[in-house]
Structure 1
């Protein structure tokens, strides 16, 4: 558990505010978290890549393993979530994502930070039943056998039941396609602190023969749904109009949101920016990025039109109020969250103890990421900050040494010419001693 605190009266609280954190070297940042989270030497070596990720673990996670592809792990600062300061681990290859989230969180900090909630931890397992002569009567027969269906499901995972979870209800629908009528049974399973795919799929497969007996039909698919509409994470925050640049900037942000809310071409890029932050935290903690992304985009379309996952408005004080709502099927037990050593360290950095806390933290990051993108769009444009960070990648591609990169980036930004051919030219000039007239 992380232990750095600040004093407020007689109350000791953890602080995520670390001025100048981005200016520190990698070693200095790691030393900070070594003290913050009490990392041991082996944990430090893991984060630095000095202890290689065990290839045996990699081979057990996927098939046909031939090697590893490391992704940078950064820390977003300034997050206050439900009154608790948190450091947010983010695994991403895209420049500006971590910095943008940190800056947006800083703007919300003095207004109380982010407040979050989770609707529950229920996932859906779907069982598709075909070739039924009387689907509506079969639906009624399934409901009559609900208690037995739930009993058979829960017998497959007594550990989950002992933790207060398990199959708790069913829903049954008849779908009429262009070719046939099919009956779809939903198993509603409380997966608690797990994402729950393995538990739900096991239950669906186990109960399938019993469903065939009840319906006199043929069970085809038995699989979890990633549209986790009974596991909705919500986050809200207020951002100071003054810190954002004034009321005109706030109005432009609201206008940008309304554009995304009613135009799917804008909404898809708007939501992609949200997922830049969300997917980075999901990946860092060993959760399923594809499941969360699919659920988010499906939820954005649930009204019949693809819309924004966030809402933005001006409150009575003239400040910007934002909120986000999306499915968040993540866990802190099982799968890569436990098998991947760096994912375990990411959870240690977050200092969370339930899947609910993790889901809320991820939603808060999505809201912060969206604010940062829209603020940039409403002011200088998205490219200025993004390309300045991207210039570092270009400088490395151009063959710049580590001690040359900063000077090349500064010159490219000064010229407002962050293109690879110009970066390459600057690199060659520096290595010949002619950048800035030298």
Structure 2
């Protein structure tokens, strides 16, 4: 049978018709594709409005992290992730700093940046000042693009103009800085940038090209800090081992990449559970990790005068409570209700605290038993299922794998065969 990815009018078909076309034009059989007919807790009609060419949905487990105390308040944290040990790690880290007060958080506000690129500007330095002199005109143009945002207390905040030396010329790049309040704000700032671009071109004689937000949201930082006593984490040797893990990540980008990935295990899980943009948060976080000129740790770890381990994190957090999937996806709405957050800043602070907790847990594991012991112990059930275990066999095989210290599918298959013949 011949197949083709050129399926004219695919977007106009019903979901069952799309599945039929996929079966006709891919190696997958229609029987295999029936798995897509079950949409779970996301109604098919909602999914079909969210993205294009929908054929189904992918369910990701949602767990709840317990033990979290944020700014003196107990909070349950919904986390959507496919990775074992991520939720448990946050629970354990939070439990070990509860007696020290939990997590203290803050933010820099809800400011987002949009960039307007101007080329062919003959007098960049002079043109830069022309733009800065007209801040009130810029404010009016931007605010007229979203009157509702103004009613909510947001809107244009400031302007910055940079001369960026590129391969071919010096570009004039204008940043409009906007308070987007409880929205992530991408659509808002993009609309403002598009309206302002031709005006800037008229003032400077330049040619406008890109007019779009920056995901390096360094005007929208979330911060969290916490203290762990040596007694709570297993002693001073564990503390000192964790500090060595931090020093390694702070100094070496190869280690820092994995160190920060661990932070994002927690961050992205909450961002996803609440229907926010994981890619925007991830790109901004990793870019911010290099804002000093080299890629390094998103967290800072120290030992205070009393010998306690003190951790802190500062991370861009462009998340919202309105727009995108946050008001459409039923799981996102339920997750936000579990969190009990009232503003986007509240959500950002909770996510930063989770990132710090995740980092603590990963460093503690690395400084003690190694990352695999706890992770693979929790992963053993997945391996048992992959080996063919069902029902009570799953827990039995998982327990055996942990006892053997070898969590592999081939070993699980051998143990399952023994179990079934005994």
Alignment-derived partner of residue 410 in structure 1: 399
1:18 aligned partner: none
Determine whether 1:218 maps to 2:204.
no
Tell me the equivalent position of 1:60: 49
Match of 1:250 among 239, 244, 253: 239
Separation in 2 of the partners of 1:50 and 1:79?
32
Does 2:317 align with 1:328? yes
Structure 2 counterpart SS, 1:339: coil
* 2:181 counterpart of 1:186: no
Whole-angstrom distance in 1 between the partners of 2:366 and 2:170? 48
- Please report how far the alpha carbon of residue 102 of structure 1 lies from its aligned counterpart in structure 2 after TM superposition: 0.3
Q: CA RMSD in A?
A: 1.1
SS of the residue corresponding to residue 228 of structure 1 reads: coil
TM-score (norm 1): 0.86
Instruction: Please give the per-residue CA displacement for 1:200-226, whole angstroms capped at 9, x wherever unaligned.
Output: 001111111111111111110000001
Matches within 5 A, 1:127-276: 127-276=116-265
SS at match of 1:189: strand
What corresponds to 1:77 in structure 2?
66
CA distance in structure 2 between the partners assigned to 1:256 and 1:67 by the alignment: 42
Task: For residues 119-157 of structure 1, give each alpha carbon's deviation from its aligned partner in whole angstroms, at most 9, with x where no partner exists.
Answer: 111000000011112222211111122111110111011
- What is the DSSP-based 3-state SS (H/G/I as helix, E as strand, rest coil) of the residue aligned with 1:392? helix
- Gapped runs of 5+ residues in structure 2? 1-37
CA distance in 1, matches of 2:308, 2:123: 58
Aligned to 2:296: 307
Match of 1:95 in 2: 84
Aligned to 2:35: none
User: Structure 1 105/52 Cα, relative in aligned 2: closer, same or farther at 3 Å?
Assistant: closer
In structure 2, the CA distance between the partners of 1:431 and 1:319, relative to structure 1 (3 Å rule), is same
Q: d(CA) in 1 for partners of 2:364 and 2:86?
A: 14
Aligned-pair CA distance for 1:52: 4.0
1:61 & 1:206 partners in 2: Cα distance?
26
**Are 2:372 and 1:350 equivalent residues in the alignment?**
no
- Aligned equivalents of 2:141, 2:292: Cα separation in 1: 35
Structure 1 residue 402: deviation in Å?
A: 2.4
Q: Secondary structure of the equivalent of 2:327?
A: helix
Aligned length in residues: 385
* CA drift at 1:292: 0.5
- How many angstroms apart in 2 are the aligned matches of 1:161 and 1:115? 30
Q: Which residue of 2 aligns with 1:108?
A: 97
Deviations 1:161-219 (A, max 9, x none): 11110111100011122311110000000011111101000111111111111111111
Counterpart of 2:419 (choices 415, 427, 430) is 430
